[in-house]
């Protein structure tokens, strides 16, 4: 079977029209028609994208094999547009997740401001906690399903773009190191102040300052969550070979394959 015949067969099995496939590949219907009729080949990037769409290997598409190979060891090709879309999605979601933690931590402050009087602290506590939880829910809607595959397959990139990602990742780590250090210091300072008072002093001397301590903890959690989420997103792409060697990744991929077989 020629490349064009294989493409035609795969498209029909998937139930896609030439227009629908062209949309997935960011090309035209005329280009799909030419490829299927043997009047040319797509560029390497498009062949990799075709492999992703139909879950077949490049070997199957380009060689004279009859049966498609489901071997995904080669990896999932990620275009620059998809990678940038994923990073933008994580950037937006991290704001909501960090804000959610921040508000939930702040919801403890009214308890100490109003001298532990339920009639006064319950309403502001509930409001802050509810809004914080709402932030988490909002973050789940921002994260798009099309990016889930990035965490379940080894990833392939254009060599030039991968170098760009590595440079951005290293710069991001350097820039966020000081910011993360500040967040960690604030978090630890708040925890230690409350811990020392309750463990060793136990006189209530620092209790009037508990809202300040909780505020420090909330700010620290916000900073740590935001920076760590963004760094992890870049690491997933730029250092994917390290990510794919983790036990958790291998376990999730094994489970996914078993479900696919069923």
13: domain CATH number is 1.10.260.40
Residue 72: pLDDT band with limits 50, 70, 90: very low
Indicate if 99 and 223 belong to the same structural domain.
yes
For residue 77, what are the β-bridge partners? 156
Indicate if 158 and 106 belong to the same structural domain.
yes
- CA dist., res. 215 & res. 200, Å (int): 22
In the numeric block, the tokens 């005329």 are attached to 30
Determine the average pLDDT of the residues in 206-233: 92
- CA dist., res. 154 & res. 72, Å (int): 8
Question: Residue 64's pLDDT is what?
Answer: 63
55 within domain boundaries:
yes
Q: Is the pLDDT of residue 79 over 50?
A: yes
Question: Residue 71's pLDDT is what?
Answer: 47
Q: Which domain holds residue 101?
A: 83-147+154-240
Q: Calculate helix-pair angle for 118-142, 80-106, nearest 10 degrees.
A: 170
Nearest alpha carbon to residue 108 among 89, 131, 86, 124: 124
Average pLDDT, the chain: 84
72 within domain boundaries:
no
49 within domain boundaries:
yes
pTM: 0.69
Question: Residue 90's pLDDT is what?
Answer: 93
Indicate if 94 and 142 belong to the same structural domain.
yes
Indicate if 166 and 214 belong to the same structural domain.
yes
Higher pLDDT: 18 or 258? It is 18
| Domain termination residue (choose one: 62, 96, 113) | 62
Q: How many residues are present in the chain?
A: 262
């Amino acid at each position: 079977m020629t490349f064009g015949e294989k493409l035609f067969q795969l498209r029909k099995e998937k139930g896609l029209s030439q227009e629908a496939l062209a949309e997935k590949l960011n090309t035209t219907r005329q280009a799909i028609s030419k490829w299927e009729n043997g009047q040319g080949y797509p560029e390497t990037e498009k062949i990799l994208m075709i492999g992703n769409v139909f879950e077949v290997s490049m070997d199957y598409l380009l060689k004279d094999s009859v049966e498609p190979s489901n071997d995904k060891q080669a990896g999932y090709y990620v275009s620059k547009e998809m990678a940038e879309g994923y990073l933008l999605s994580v950037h937006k979601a991290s704001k909501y997740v960090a804000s959610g933690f921040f508000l939930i931590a702040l919801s403890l402050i009214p308890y100490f401001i109003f001298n532990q009087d339920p009639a006064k602290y319950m309403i502001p506590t509930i409001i802050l906690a509810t809004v914080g939880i709402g932030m988490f829910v909002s973050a789940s809607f921002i994260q798009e399903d099309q990016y889930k595959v990035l965490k379940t397959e080894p990833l392939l990139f254009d060599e030039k773009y991968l170098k760009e990602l590595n440079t951005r990742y290293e710069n991001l780590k350097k820039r966020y190191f000081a910011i993360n250090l500040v967040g960690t210091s604030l978090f630890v300072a708040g925890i230690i102040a409350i811990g020392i008072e309750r463990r060793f002093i136990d006189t209530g001397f620092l209790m009037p300052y508990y809202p300040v301590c909780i505020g420090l903890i909330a700010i620290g959690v916000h900073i740590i969550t935001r920076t760590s989420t963004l760094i992890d997103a870049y690491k997933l792409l730029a250092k994917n070979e390290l990510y794919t060697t983790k036990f958790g990744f291998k376990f999730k991929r094994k489970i996914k394959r078993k479900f696919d077989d069923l």
